[in-house]
Amino acid sequence: MKLIWTKQLSVGNAVIDSDHKNLIAIINDIKRVIGTKDHSAISQAFEFLEGWLCVHFKNEEKIALAAYLDFSKYKQAQHYSLKELQHLRDELVAKQGIWSESATMHYSHFLMRWMNEHINKVDMPMKPRLQTLDYLFWPGSGKSEANFIAGRTANLYLQHLDTPTPCHV
Ligand SMILES: [Fe+2]
């Protein structure tokens, strides 16, 4: 089963929504790669996800701070999210492709739950505030830059560009 972004998942900001669409596409691909049990491909796929997650976390921080949201709790949640993913990545790499089909299902469900929780539990509380701003709100700039950033994020995964450098949240 694939994760699909729907309007119900919108948090009220074009850049964040675009990032989430991108992350959902990456998560769907990781689920596919886990099914292949190719541990070096799995490792690469996680590196790609962590890099984009980092870009996303920075975008969220920038937007939240400019929107006068208390970012400290989001920062903690981001840190925890990243640790959860890194734990899963380490577990998968250590197993070197040797796991059962039911374990594949388990990992797949874990990733879907992780993504859903990130959007619905961590980010959704920002929505009431973000909805008071323009959908194309982006700190210190006009709508055209927000459009550009949102469009760039949406296209990056499709274009298979380089993996961003993973960061420490
Ligand atoms: Fe997010």
State the distance from the centre of ligand 1 to the C-alpha of 117, rounded, in angstroms: 10
Q: What CATH number is attached to the domain comprising 74?
A: 1.20.120.50
- Residue 111 in domain: yes
Inside any domain, residue 72: yes
Position 79 scores a pLDDT of 87
Q: Residue 26 falls within a domain, yes or no? A: yes
CB atoms within 10 A of CB 136: 17
- pLDDT score for 40: 87
Tell whether 165 is covered by a domain.
no
Distance between the two ends of the chain, CA-based, in angstroms?
30
Within-domain flag for 5:
no
Tens-level pLDDT at each residue, the chain (169 residues): 788 999 999 999 999 999 999 899 999 999 999 999 888 899 889 988 988 898 899 899 999 999 999 888 888 888 888 899 999 999 998 888 888 888 889 999 999 999 999 999 999 999 999 999 999 888 876 666 666 666 665 555 555 545 666 565 5
Is residue 9 within 8 Å of residue 122, measured between CB atoms? no
**Distance in Å, CA 38 to ligand 1 centroid:** 28
**CB-based burial of residue 27 (10 Å sphere; 0-12 exposed, 13-18 middle, 19+ buried)?**
buried
Do the domain assignments include residue 44? yes
| CA-to-CA separations, 136 to 12, 15, 33, 69, 151, in angstroms, rounded | 9, 7, 34, 17, 11
The single-letter DSSP state of residue 127 is H
Max Cα–Cα distance, the chain, nearest Å: 51
- The domain of 82 spans 10-159
**Does residue 2 lie within any of the structural domains?**
no
Q: What is the pTM for the complete model shown?
A: 0.86
CA of 20 to the centre of ligand 1 (A): 6
In the chain, the number of structural domains is: 1
- Long-range pairs for 141-148: beta carbons < 8 A, 24 or more residues apart: 146/14, 146/15, 147/14
Q: How far is the CA of 122 from the centre of ligand 1 (A)?
A: 7
- Residue ranges in 12-164 assigned as alpha helix (H): 14-36, 39-66, 72-95, 101-117, 127-130, 143-159
Q: How far is the CA of 106 from the centre of ligand 1 (A)?
A: 23
Q: Measured in angstroms, how far is the CA atom of residue 99 from the centroid of ligand 1?
A: 30
Q: Is residue 166 one of the residues assigned to a domain?
A: no
